Structure 1
Amino acid sequence: MKKMTAALAVTGAFAGHAYAQSSVTLYGIIDEGITYTNNQAGHSTWQETDGAINTSRFGLRGNEDLGGGLQAIFRLENGFSAANGNLRQGGRLFGRQAYVGLASSQFGTITLGRQYDSVVDYLGPLALTGTQYGGTFFAHPFDNDNLDNDFRVNNSVKFQSPNFRGLQAGALYGFSNDAGDFANNRAYSFGASYAFKGVTVAAAYLQINQNLTTASISNTNGALNGDATFFAGRQRIWGAGVKYSFGPFTTDFVYTTTLLNNALGISAGESGVSGGFGLNGGSARFNNYEVNGRYTLGSPWTIAVGYVHTDGSIDAARPHWDQVNVQAAYLLSVRTQVYLQTEYQHIAQDGLPLGAIISGLPAASTTPNQVAVTLGLRHTF
């Protein structure tokens, strides 16, 4: 993807120190489309949608060479709706990412700020959701495992190792920033991946702890605030996956489990229910099984197909979901893509008063089925 880069080279001396070469890169994505949905809150709907694949964004990233293989690095990434110009991520200026750190070619990278967790870093590339091959609308139900990056971790320090013959590992800790309650709204995660020839394997874990009595965050200065999918006293996500690429074809299998304790609610944005979907304070579980494949039909065509089965346990119900996703994309240039994609979701409710809801749509279906078809344009810069 072609970048617009401003490179600043400064040489000279000040108090005996030389200033090394620095660079700053402006980048972004604008993704808009027209979506037909068979049922949202009881009605078929035509609407303009922002980010059926990737929500629109722009960002700045930069580095300064400090010598000896060491660099100072930073990233500031904004999320916005191209449909109306509004800020995303709760109105934050740089709600997608905001961090600064040091990167060593020998010892790895350490960064501090608002960042992605290890599940996103290591398992995310193996799922179609969160990538250019399906993105937002291909997320697992409620984005329960956060593979579509619904939330980021504030107040976090993250380490990523160098790539050692295909092996890479990392860990993150998000502070509660609460002097009186160290564990209230904190997060920690770790993960690793190994790539050899056409095979990649990965595994990761994330845990979030909060002290909650209602479906609202009690410590708003902590690791999560305003973009959490679930309201729960403890949330744990773990999983593993494998990728195999041969020639123009790539196939992946990803398994994740999300376990909630003291589960009090699901956000309005992910449940498709105005005001959110309340839970009874017990435990909840989601087991996700995704198999996907993508094929390059000779440049500039790509086809991606995915199937996700999710077993759930919510209150006294045992629902399960099945979702089929298909995308066909055509590159008009290296930076501009036209795509047609469709999603079909079915929920076996087991008495749960919730219809099917494809992630990224504003309202759930009044039936156990929901279908969406999007014709879109995605431009990167």
Structure 2
Amino acid sequence: MKAHHLAWIAGTLACTAHAQNSITLYGVIDAGLTYTNSSQTAVTGKRPVGGSQFALSDGSATGAGGSRWGIRGVEDLGNGLAALFTLENAFTINNGAFGTGGAEFGRQAFVGLSGTFGSLTLGRQYDTYTDFVQPLTATGQWAGYMGAEPDDVDSLSNTSRINNAIKFRTPTYRGMAAGLLYSLGGVAGSLTQNQLFSIGAGYSQGPLSVAVGYLSARDPNVSLYGTTPNKGSTALNSIGSFGSPTSAESSPVDAGYASAKTTQIAGAGIDYAFNPVTVGFVVTNTRFYNLGSTSGPDPLGYTGTASFLNFELSVKSQITPALLLGSAFHYTDRNSVDGDGGAKYLQLDLGAFYSLSKRTSLYILTVLQRAIGRDSLGQPAVASITGFSPSTTDRQLGVRIALQQRF
């Protein structure tokens, strides 16, 4: 999850010269057992094949939060100005490998300045649409990656970070704050190729929280979905293993739209706390414009625009100081592209978290998803819970029981 969600983290190690200067080491370790009733292994005769799966996995794929460690530093420069940096590494607890595609500091890597004006940071960062809208979603509060929209189609589960980014965030004033991010494409001879822009704003005061956000990515197959080393910087990343008879499909919900020239995502959310129950509602719209461009592969010859409208209604309740229960319902509706009739996805999330201490918790997450229509790979739509291999059918069940330690 995002850096500012690490408000949970306790027991930090800090080396301080005086109150304003600090170096902080922090982290999360999330390991658990996952089960799915249907997981693809290959494609035979143009239909996916596979079976049920039971595995030990890290939280970065299917859990409440990916394993990570990070270093955060602040130096007082005087006159209310401070220098800051964050380096955050993801790893997988079951084999010790780097996460985020093998990047050493693939979760976050930035440096910047903060003061009365707010903060200005440069490097690999989260976009401001996600910064403001995600905290109001089930995936941002308790459900983790597997509680995101199908294949994270609205990009609110941090499956993509933004490279080459300049980010500004205002200070919070009477509960209100806003932020801007611009990512340079860095392509010689073109100021707009691979560029990305996002904006977000929010208000939080008392029991009420409200947020809005917008993201626009040119050549999104590279600038948004191709930002980790294992995806490379070519136009052959987000469509994954499409067409391979020996590999599972990758993101069938939207991977077929890799040729979009522009992806635009807008979202808004609201939370209201009726202690001890909090109710939330989030709506997002993801649009893949100008399909068939040279920005990515187009093996199915799509044209026009693919649009996903997503709704989420969530409820969480702090039953006791140690026990949290959560549930969420998702509805996703995709328009008809080139006369394919479109697709719909229904999803139910259920979760329970029990805190053994301030740093350690046990949890169980269950997600059920059903797909209707035809998906972006031109086949009868298969269910695809975020973080899991897609199903072989239109239904999928994912269950995770895990232990999470924070430091």
Q: Which residue of 2 aligns with 1:250?
A: 278
Distance (whole Å) between structure 1 residues aligned to residue 318 and residue 125 of structure 2: 32
Q: Which residue of 2 aligns with 1:45?
A: 53
1:91 and 2:102 matched: yes
Aligned residue pair count: 356
Distance (whole Å) between structure 1 residues aligned to residue 187 and residue 232 of structure 2: 7
State which of 313, 334, 339 in structure 2 corresponds to 1:312: 334
Q: Which residue of 2 aligns with 1:201?
A: 210
* Corresponding residue SS for 2:151: helix
Q: Which residue of 1 aligns with 2:118?
A: 108
Distance (whole Å) between structure 2 residues aligned to residue 299 and residue 225 of structure 1: 48
Distance 1:314 1:150, change over 3 A: farther
Provide Cα deviations, 1:309-332, integer angstroms capped at 9, x if missing partner.
000136323110000000011101
Distance (whole Å) between structure 2 residues aligned to residue 225 and residue 338 of structure 1: 39
Distance (whole Å) between structure 2 residues aligned to residue 256 and residue 240 of structure 1: 7
1:77 and 2:88 matched: yes
1:138 and 2:147 matched: yes
Instruction: Give the letter aligned to residue 35 of structure 2.
Output: Y
User: TM-score normalised to the size of structure 2?
Assistant: 0.82
1:67 and 2:78 matched: yes
User: Which one has a larger percent helix, Structure 1 or Structure 2?
Assistant: 2
State which of 368, 392, 399 in structure 2 corresponds to 1:344: 368
Distance 1:3 1:69, change over 3 A: farther
Per the TM alignment, residue 221 of structure 1 is displaced from its structure 2 partner at its CA by 9.3
Distance (whole Å) between structure 2 residues aligned to residue 33 and residue 139 of structure 1: 18
State which of 346, 349, 356 in structure 2 corresponds to 1:332: 356
Provide Cα deviations, 1:103-133, integer angstroms capped at 9, x if missing partner.
11x21111000011112100000001134x1
Q: Which moved more, 1:115-124 or 1:312-321?
A: 312-321
* Corresponding residue SS for 2:131: helix
Distance (whole Å) between structure 2 residues aligned to residue 211 and residue 126 of structure 1: 25
Distance (whole Å) between structure 1 residues aligned to residue 77 and residue 221 of structure 2: 45
Q: Which residue of 2 aligns with 1:280?
A: 301
Per the TM alignment, residue 225 of structure 1 is displaced from its structure 2 partner at its CA by 10
Distance (whole Å) between structure 2 residues aligned to residue 212 and residue 227 of structure 1: 6
Per the TM alignment, residue 149 of structure 1 is displaced from its structure 2 partner at its CA by 0.6
Distance (whole Å) between structure 2 residues aligned to residue 71 and residue 114 of structure 1: 20
Distance (whole Å) between structure 1 residues aligned to residue 390 and residue 322 of structure 2: 35
Q: Which moved more, 1:349-358 or 1:21-30?
A: 349-358
* Corresponding residue SS for 1:129: helix
Distance 1:197 1:164, change over 3 A: same
Q: Unpaired runs of 5+ in structure 2?
A: 1-8, 41-49, 240-250
Provide Cα deviations, 1:180-225, integer angstroms capped at 9, x if missing partner.
1111111001010012321111100000002879xx969x998x99
Supply the RMSD in Å over aligned alpha carbons. 2.7
Q: Which residue of 2 aligns with 1:355?
A: 382
Q: Which residue of 1 aligns with 2:199?
A: 190
Q: Which residue of 2 aligns with 1:155?
A: 164
* Corresponding residue SS for 2:95: coil
Q: Which protein, 1 or 2, shows the higher relative CO under an 8 Å CA cutoff with sep ≥ 6?
A: 2
Distance (whole Å) between structure 2 residues aligned to residue 279 and residue 335 of structure 1: 49
Q: Which residue of 1 aligns with 2:132?
A: 122
* Corresponding residue SS for 2:138: coil
Distance (whole Å) between structure 2 residues aligned to residue 340 and residue 246 of structure 1: 24
Q: Which residue of 2 aligns with 1:295?
A: 317
Distance 1:38 1:277, change over 3 A: farther
Distance 1:63 1:252, change over 3 A: same
Distance (whole Å) between structure 2 residues aligned to residue 244 and residue 324 of structure 1: 21
Distance (whole Å) between structure 2 residues aligned to residue 296 and residue 330 of structure 1: 10
Distance (whole Å) between structure 2 residues aligned to residue 159 and residue 291 of structure 1: 30
Q: Unpaired runs of 5+ in structure 1?
A: 11-19, 266-275
User: Which one has a larger percent strand, Structure 1 or Structure 2?
Assistant: 1
Per the TM alignment, residue 152 of structure 1 is displaced from its structure 2 partner at its CA by 0.9
Per the TM alignment, residue 337 of structure 1 is displaced from its structure 2 partner at its CA by 0.7
Instruction: Give the letter aligned to residue 119 of structure 1.
Output: Y
User: TM-score normalised to the size of structure 1?
Assistant: 0.87
